[in-house]
Structure 1
Amino acid sequence: MNDSAYRVETAPRLAQWRVDAFSSASYRKSDPFRIGLWNWHLTVERNKHLLVKLYPEVSNLTREKPPIASFVIKLVSTSSTNRKTIVHPVIFDKQLKSNDDFVWAVENFFGGRFIIDVEFLDLKIAPPSGGEPSSIWNSYNIEKHSAATALTCFSRMLSEGIHTDIIINATDGSIGAHRAVLATRSPVFQSMFSHNLKEKELSAVNISDMSFEACQAFLNYIYGDFKADEFLTHRLALLRAADKYDISDLKEACHESLSEDIDTKNVLERLQTAHLYRLPRLKSSCMRRFSPPGKLNTKFEFVCVCVCDCVSCVGCC
């Protein structure tokens, strides 16, 4: 049979399948067609009744985010002698996972050639954490889904080593990465790969002051695969790398995080870090944490003078 017999024509939110020469006791399944985030199928089966089914193609997306569909579906006869239209009552917010979730048994079918016409009124997905489903056609959700998909792709590029073209050498291991991604996120990397430096010639960057795990966390952040436990474990190494490679958003994230959990055990280290990487808010947080309002703790005034080489702590903090 002609391949066009299985093809479904689509327009935004609309799908139309022309079914020709459909005999009794037969079955036909359409080619997949794209509406929203999913590929779909239509099937028709003729036995005692005509059975029409609409369902999304089996995929990881369908399993993780099954569509919640609202739609109108109808059969339109194309016979010149018996023109007729049968319309199913409107379906509202029905979750579709398998080919048995929507089955339309048409009793008074007119036979001959016909069209299955589907208008999708809305398609929704439920948040993974629960709550009210939201429409994928809301502009915010489209933007959010697009961004999430892009980040997932970047993450796979790194984790699966897809077409890597540069090697990052840490102190105890190496990781494949992509020049274009690194150059986009860091002007230092961009300069390395744009000029005839050894990194460009050797297709390798040596980060000799980072462990493999810290380097992995650094690249995960660059590729959008943020992991909170990695970040907390390697904050100081990430701050050093962010400063070295001029990644301002990572440096600011480390700055903010280091300012949140200052205590008596780490305050001297934090003051030194604040001075080394020019983090005024971290300095102020250290001083405020151990000084009464309006007063300066003499002990920490002395410490700050030593660390900062300032005449007066008040001036720099």
Structure 2
Amino acid sequence: MGPCYTASRVWPVGGLDWQIEFQPNRRRPDCWSRDGDWIKFCVTLISDATEVAASFSCLLVDQSATPRHSSLSKVITKSSTFCRQSSSSLEVFLATRSELDRSNYLKDDQILVQCEITVLLLGDTPATNGAALRLPVPSTLAVPRRVRAAARSDLQKHLGELLRSQTATDITFLVAGEPVPAHRCVLAARPPVFMAGLFGEMKENASPFVEIDDMDAEAFRAMLRYIYTDMFPDEQEDEQATLMAQHLLDAADRYGMERLKGLCVDKVCQGISAETVATTLALADQHGCSKLKDRCMEFILSTPANLICAVAATEGYKHLEASCPSVLTDLLYKLAAAQGPRK
């Protein structure tokens, strides 16, 4: 491997043209180790796109018949947003020359690297390979209901199967210690928080793993299913569905998913009882859900005096008292107003 570089042919991915370069002897600007010779791969956007987000991963394939432990990372993924005003290249420093010499990745003076480009279109892109063909699609107003149901897009079904099968996942969330694989581009296309975290300047975009400790793993999976399919989980029984909606409300608020948050509020409202109203009231206050907070207040105000004592004896009330004292103050004012002035 000499000082020159080798370029691939131009590859069409996501309707855009890309080219990959292999540079065997490069200095890594952020590394001050004595071994300065790095194996570098670089992907370049050839097309003139307005704005596009893409990830570029390089997998170093072990070619030995009996693999042994190696200090190298087998896969490295980088993500970036390309546009006319910014750089149109993305670099991956895969390994040093000395590391390759000590590993099983070098065989007969050759290495085998699998490169993958994943593209998420953000803006307008020029048409490629000639003018795009468009077929007329009938308006849903002019189509009978039975035909409309049969002709409905099955995109939700396919995306749901993609999540279930974990095919081509390129990021893993460690939620309370449980691995949850997903696809960067699908996530980035939905909540803007994921776009900023996976393709922006945040640290998560440089790692295939993201740790989330303070969230219920099953609720996170349910949120992913909603992101992929727009389907709200409704297979649980009433109590389980209410508990899941409470956990899901926390996740939806954290990731800025207002529609999912609204669905969770409606579900939680249906499950309010003397045992859950205090916990629900604290949840509503913490996540700024005024509709849910008002519903809890109405429930308590309409509850007979003997049941109010039962509410005050729950663990949820103790949590409300400790974490949201201002809510109790509002509740006392409302109770006093409901009873009217003393004669």
Q: TM-score, normalised to structure 1's length?
A: 0.48
Q: TM-score, normalised to structure 2's length?
A: 0.45
Structure of higher CA gyration radius: 1
